[in-house]
Amino acid sequence: MSEDTGNNKERGIYVYCMIKAPAQKKSFGNMGFGGEDVYTLEYRDFAPVVSTAAVKNYEVNDDEVELHRKVVEHVMKEHDVIPVAYGMAFKNKKLLLFAMSAGYKAMRKAMSEVTNKVELGVKVLLPKEDASWDGKEKCKSDFMEALKNKSAQSKELKLFSDRLVMNAAFLVDRDKIEDFSDEMGKLENKYANLKIQYSGPWPPYNFVDIQILSKRKGGFR
C-alpha cells in the first residue's frame, strides 16, 4: 500500500453503516473511534452513519472491531441497516457522497431486501471424536429445509473444517425471530449429539454484497 493511504493523522469520515435518511440529522452519542460523536449524513434517501476519524489502514484488532460492531448493533435497534465493512474511512465528505452515488441503485435494492429483517447464523458441528459420521448430508438438508421455511433468504457459507456439517446465514423478519428459534429448538433436540452454534441477530452482512470500485489497481481496502 502506498504512502498516501498509510497511517497518517489526517482526519476524515469513518462509515459504520447506512440507514434510511431520518427526518432530521441524528446523533447516536460519543461512541465512535476516539470517543467521537456518531451521527448521520445524507445522500438522497440514505443516511450514512459516521464519525470523524483518522484516514488510515484500520488494523484488525479486537477493540476496534468490537467498537465498530457495537455502533452498528446500537443503530440496528431502531433502524434497518445496510452494513458497511470494517475500516471504511473516507478522506472527505465529497468522496463519501461520490461513492454513495456510485452505489445508490445497489443500495436501494439491498435496502428493500433487508427492510425489517436481521441475519441469524447457524453452524452445525460434529463432536471432536466423531468426525467421520455418515449422517452429514441428511442432517444438513434437514436443517436447511426446516430453516428456509422460517426465513426470507438463506445463504450457505464455507465449510472451513471437516467437523462442520452446515454453515449458513438466514435473513429473518424481526418479528419471526422467535419462530426461527423454536424451529432451532426442535432441530437441536433432534440432533442432540451435535454441537450447534446459533448466533445473532446480526446486521445482514451476508445478504448485502456491494463493492464500489475504482479502476485503479493495487488496493482493495
* Nearest-approach distance from CB 45 to another protein, in angstroms: 16
* Nearest-approach distance from CB 197 to another protein, in angstroms: 7
Answer for the pair 191, 130: CB distance below 8 angstroms, yes or no. Answer: no
CA distance 177 to 105: 29
Phi-psi region of 24 (alpha: psi -120 to 50; beta: other; left: phi over 0): beta
* Nearest-approach distance from CB 130 to another protein, in angstroms: 7
* Nearest-approach distance from CB 171 to another protein, in angstroms: 13
Residue 37 has, within 13 A of its CA and on its CB side, a CA count of: 6
How many CB atoms lie under 10 A from the CB of residue 43? 19
* Nearest-approach distance from CB 151 to another protein, in angstroms: 13
> Which of 23, 213 has the CB closer to another protein?
213
> Which of 121, 152 has the CB closer to another protein?
121
Is the CA virtual torsion 52, 110, 121, 133 positive or negative? negative
**Dihedral angle computed from the Cα positions of residues 111, 19, 23 and 41, in that order, rounded to the nearest 10 degrees:** -130
> Which of 17, 171 has the CB closer to another protein?
17
